[in-house]
Structure 1
């Protein structure tokens, strides 16, 4: 039992920093900023629609599209002239942007490849990857269900990221991942001995 606990702990210690490193701060998010050298500066701040925050002693700082680690480095650099040595700053996401009325409209999701009904899927708010696949009629018999791809473009940077979902054993991206407007699901063809 203790061996299983050790393995789970090690897995969490590896996965949680990876997830935090992958999160991009967006408008409407609430950040918790801790400044160890001056607790009076520690506070929660709202990311404004232009992706900036206002922080005492640092002024207006662009954090939209950055990871929490990048934001804490920027804040520490901006506060450094106010301290004898560079301060220790920690940024965490205290709250995600609230969903607006716009997200209640159907989202256009695209599915292609080895799927029963490829094409455009008008998905409702909160639809997940697995639900969208089911809505498109499910996989064909030639589908490589271990290598389903979710293509998503970061609206802040314009860069496309590809996430892999393994339908057979649930590894990689979760089938419960909520989809965003414009997501493309690609179901590749199975290889010979796959």
Structure 2
């Protein structure tokens, strides 16, 4: 293979990687459910005066010109954009070309305490899920004193009404079969790994 052909092949692979990465990023943004703390940029084509950047408040809403408070948390960008079109079309603009984008993601975290290597906050990546076992692994895994079969989760100030029984070997084996290990955490959850009495 001559140098020209080799260069073309490398360039083609690089372009494919960029396009693949862009496709993944688009898919993630498309499916992402908006969360309190996300900052959005709102624009309407040919209407620069109402361009707005706003943070979604703790009640799940944000403020926009003319229409005021808008529910946003829990919706995708496309769902929110459709609802805004209905609000603006006719009363304020004719067939408005509305664009929304996330300019900053909220920090979503859970707390992991007790008998783990590095107690503290564990971040949940945007448009991703975090399982109980993943959170414990991120927090440094179980200590020797951990009681792995009596893990507790507190959500919205209340203890989830069951004990999570985990197998420490799951951290190494990536055990996908245990429903307890794969329990999905939510932002704000507090995980506590107690100390074994024996």
TM range (shorter): 0.5 to 0.7
Structure 1 residue runs without a partner (length 5+): 110-119, 156-179, 184-194
- The answer (yes or no) to whether the contact 1:37–1:87 under 8 Å persists in 2 is no
- Among 171, 174, 184, which residue is 1:152 paired with? 184
1:79-102 residue CA offsets vs partner (Å, 9 max, x unmatched): 112112x21111111223367xxx
- Aligned match of 1:3: 12
Counterparts of residues 43-192 of structure 1 (less than 5 Å): 43-81=52-90, 82-84=92-94, 86-97=95-106, 106-107=111-112, 123-126=119-122, 132-133=136-137, 134-136=140-142, 140=169, 145=174, 147=176, 150-152=182-184, 181=189
CA RMSD in angstroms, aligned pairs only: 3.7
SS at match of 1:152: coil
Higher helix proportion: 2
| Residue deviations 1:26-80 (CA, integer Å, cap 9, x gap) | 2222111111131111110121221111211222211111112222222222111
TM-score where L is the length of structure 2:
0.57
Query: Which has the greater radius of gyration?
Result: 2
What is the deviation of 1:154? 5.5
The alpha carbon displacement at 1:21 in A equals 1.9
3-state secondary structure, aligned to 2:62: strand
Post-superposition offset of 1:6? 2.3
Alignment check: 8 A CA contact 2:33 2:75 kept: yes
- Is the Cα–Cα contact under 8 Å of residues 152 and 182 in structure 1 kept in the other structure? no
Number of aligned residues: 144
Structure 1 residues 38 and 53: CA distance shift in structure 2, 3 A: same
Change (3 A) 1:151 1:36: farther
User: How far apart in 1 are the matches of 2:123 and 2:104?
Assistant: 21
For 2:57 and 2:42, locate their aligned partners in 1 and report how far apart those are by CA, in whole Å.
15
Query: Where in structure 2 are there 5+ consecutive unaligned residues?
Result: 1-9, 125-129, 144-166, 192-198
Q: Partner residue of 2:159?
A: none
**Which moved further from structure 2: 131-140 or 1-10?**
131-140
Q: What displacement does 1:18 show?
A: 1.3
